[in-house]
Structure 1
Amino acid sequence: MVVVFRSRDFAPRDRADATRVAMQEQSVPSRVVLENPERVDSLMEVWSYGAASIFRSVMTGYRLQRTPRQVKAGPAEMLAIAVQEINVGYSDQFDTRRVLPIGDLFVIDLNAPYDYLLPRYGSAQCLHVPIDAVGLPPEVVRAAAGRLAASPLHTMMTAHIGELTRQAERLSVDPSASVLGDTSVELVRALLASAYDIDYARGLMAEVLLPRIRAYVRRHLGDADLSPEHIADAHDISPRRLFRLCAEAGFSLEQWIIAERLTGARADLARPELADVPIAAVARRWGFVNNAHFSRRFRDMFGIAPRDWRRIAPREFGAESTQPCGRSRFDEPQAP
């Protein structure tokens, strides 16, 4: 945890001024009005994810106002995407006033005047991403800010910010932290573009969703009930949208799943240490519940029956060359 400010570290008489300064240092020039300066209690945390970062503030009531003069004097380099965490907040930007209940996702364009109010003790989780990296026109950001719920990525973005915050101590020091930051930028871009107009965002949606969909499917290849409906539900999109994404990328989802399963089963059947495992058990491990269907699809794809492949593969090709990842589903912990 990276605690950048704790009001209790200061003498009581200095806490209000220190809190105002800390809030501005973590954001942009603005006016910080404390609800009760005599009894302010605040905690601010920041975690870095490469070009992106998470800022979390937990504090007694306050108001944050950014004026046109401050915008002009100090342009911001970051865009803020936030989730209201504790207690209800209120925002006013682009002539739109909003109530922000717990769990609500909202955008603050730091390059436009705004007014944010948290009337009592509460908190928010805020993802900061570089405006230049997001690369969307200001008018798109402005229009999207008022209709984030229209984006099919709304729930995913909310969960993403929550995980980056809850798992920050582990994720922010992981070697892949900068990759998570880049992913966050791409997700923000697709969120805003799709909230603005789904057709405008079609290509961006595919860039964000398809890698996630592929990774999800590979983790669940052994689930016999893996279906387009389950996959779509896991990504908060409709099955129709899922099929369209795959079609636009030039592949059939169902055929790709079968091919991935067959490839995994083929690798396991070539492993000498699994020679005593029945072929039917290998097939079930890769999501095939019908032995005849598995054998037919295996022969169609590889031109040889599973039993014959198991017999010749270790001798002709060597087990290592047929196991791309050096790992089998039989190596995974078994459910009791």
Structure 2
Amino acid sequence: MKLLFLSEKLPINKRFTRWLELLEEQRLPLEQKQLDAAPFEAKLEIATLGPLTMTRVSEGPLRTEATPSAIRRLGDEGCISVGFTLAGERTVQQRDRASTQRQGDLVVIEHQPAVMTTSPGNQSLYLKMPRERLESVLGPARRYAALTIGADLATTTLATSFFEELSRMHHRLDPVTVARMGSIGVDLIVASIAERIAQDVPLPLSGSVLVQRAKAYIEAHLGDPNLDPPQLSAAIGVSVHQLQELFHERGQHVSDWIWQRRLEVAADRLADPACAHMPLGTLAGGCGFSNRSHFSRRFKDRFGLAPSEFRHAVGLGGR
């Protein structure tokens, strides 16, 4: 990653002033105050992963506020950020929610007014991405922004480890591979958020929110060959009949949606150079198909080509 700031290279009495100047230069809509009288310590690194921007920050105890006027100046409404806590603690207040993240947790932060505080020795990794990348699967970000996605979830641990390692290794990869690795990592983030949303005991909700929750659960459990309408309805707290009716109102069938997403994810992986050497049976199992023949039959019905033919058609060979 490219080093932008290292406090130890500056005189103590100029560190925080230079830090604030750097934030302005980087067009970060933040107002910051130190929370103790100790010499300011900070390090800032940045890298580009295709459409994603990754920032690694080590900093002392700070209160950070994103004000409405600063956000308007930035004009970045189409983006959203995900913060991984690598060390220390961070609290986030946004909209009507406040939460704390500890080592291994992640949090989604909208580009909206927010207040954040960090503990001494805090280390964080931030990923800035198009808002649509999350909302197209999980629904409006306001539902999960500032919600702690805990390290107790395996998907969160995978996502954090993936991006922490990518921050160290990206310089050894070509730009196309880096962008693709970033996209794979975002899929892990989506799965983490979906799994966290699915944990909540549902309160009386509108049909649209229930359908969004159901779809988020599907995304997080596509690899489960036993995923079906009864399991899904139990997970979100409604009857199978009610779930079917909600999908029918939107011109969809629950089972059809599950198979559609499995096939779409399978097609993405067949076209992914990073998965070019993955055996078709392994790929099929990871998308929830119980065996390769079942996968091949459904895939050909959907796309008009057998999986191996599809992989050849996109120039990746087949196994």
TM-score calculated relative to the size of structure 2: 0.59
Partner of 1:329: none
Shift of the 185–86 alpha-carbon distance from structure 1 to 2, 3 Å rule, reads closer
Contact 1:126 1:161 in 2 (8 A): no
Aligned counterpart, 1:57: 57
Shift of 1:101: 2.2
Residue 130, structure 1, aligned to residue 130, structure 2? yes
Say if 1:65 and 1:114, in contact at 8 Å, map to a contact too.
yes
Deviations 1:24-66 (A, max 9, x none): 5456222011234660111111222111122111121111101
- Indicate whether 1:143 and 2:153 are aligned: no
Aligned partners of 1:37 and 1:20: how far apart in 2? 17
Aligned to 1:113: 113
Q: Which amino acid aligns with 2:95?
A: F
CA distance in 1, matches of 2:93, 2:57: 19
Aligned with 2:211: secondary structure? Answer: coil
Q: Which amino acid aligns with 1:115?
A: V
Shift of 1:205: 7.0
The Cα shift of 1:104 comes to: 1.9
**1:109 positional shift:** 0.7
Residue 16 of structure 2 contacts residue 40 of structure 2 at CA under 8 Å; is this kept in 1?
Answer: yes
SS at match of 1:39: coil
Conserved 8 A contact 2:27-2:74: no
> What SS does the aligned partner of 1:91 have?
strand
Seen in structure 2, the aligned counterparts of structure 1 residues 198 and 189 have a Cα distance that, compared at 3 Å, is: farther
Instruction: Say whether residues 1:177 and 2:178 are aligned partners.
Output: yes
Match of 1:35 in 2: 35
What corresponds to 1:310 in structure 2?
none
Matched, 1:88 2:124: no
Whether the 8 Å contact between 2:71 and 2:113 is mirrored in structure 1 is yes
Deviations 1:53-86 (A, max 9, x none): 2211112111110112222332225311112221
Aligned pairs for 1:1-336 within 5 A: 1-26=1-26, 28-36=28-36, 39-76=39-76, 77-110=78-111, 112-134=112-134, 136=136, 140-145=140-145, 147=147, 149=149, 155-175=154-174, 176-188=177-189, 195=197, 199-200=211-212, 247=259, 249=262, 253-256=289-292
- Residue type of the alignment partner of 1:79: I
3-state DSSP of counterpart to 2:144:
helix
Does the C-alpha gap of structure 1 residues 25 and 43 become closer, same or farther in structure 2, counting only changes over 3 Å?
A: same
CA distance in structure 1 between the aligned counterparts of 2:26 and 2:170, rounded to whole angstroms? 21
Q: Percent identity of the aligned residues? A: 14
Q: Counterparts of 1:256 and 1:137 in 2: how far apart (Å)?
A: 27
Provide the C-alpha distance between the structure 1 equivalents of 2:219 and 2:108, rounded to a whole number of angstroms.
Answer: 22
- Confirm or deny: 8 A CA contact 2:90 2:101 kept in the other structure: yes
CA contact (8 A) 2:92 2:146 kept: no
SS of structure 2 residue aligned to 1:254:
coil
Cα distance in 2 for partners of 1:133, 1:28 equals: 21
Offset of residue 190 of structure 1: 6.0
Count of residue pairs the alignment pairs up: 236
Contact 1:134 1:186 in 2 (8 A): no
Contact 2:107 2:149 in 1 (8 A): no
Letter in 2 for 1:161: T
Q: Which amino acid aligns with 1:84?
A: T
Q: Give the Cα separation in 2 of the matches to 1:102 and 1:170.
A: 21
Distance in structure 2 (CA, Å) of the matches to 1:85 and 1:257:
43
Change (3 A) 1:204 1:165: same
Change (3 A) 1:131 1:89: same
> Is contact 1:53–1:181 with CA below 8 Å preserved after alignment?
no
Q: Which has the larger radius of gyration?
A: 1
Code of the residue aligned with 1:123 in structure 2: it is Q
RMSD over aligned CA atoms reads 4.1
- Relative distance call for 1:206 and 1:26 in structure 2 (3 A) is farther
- Secondary structure of 1:199 counterpart: helix
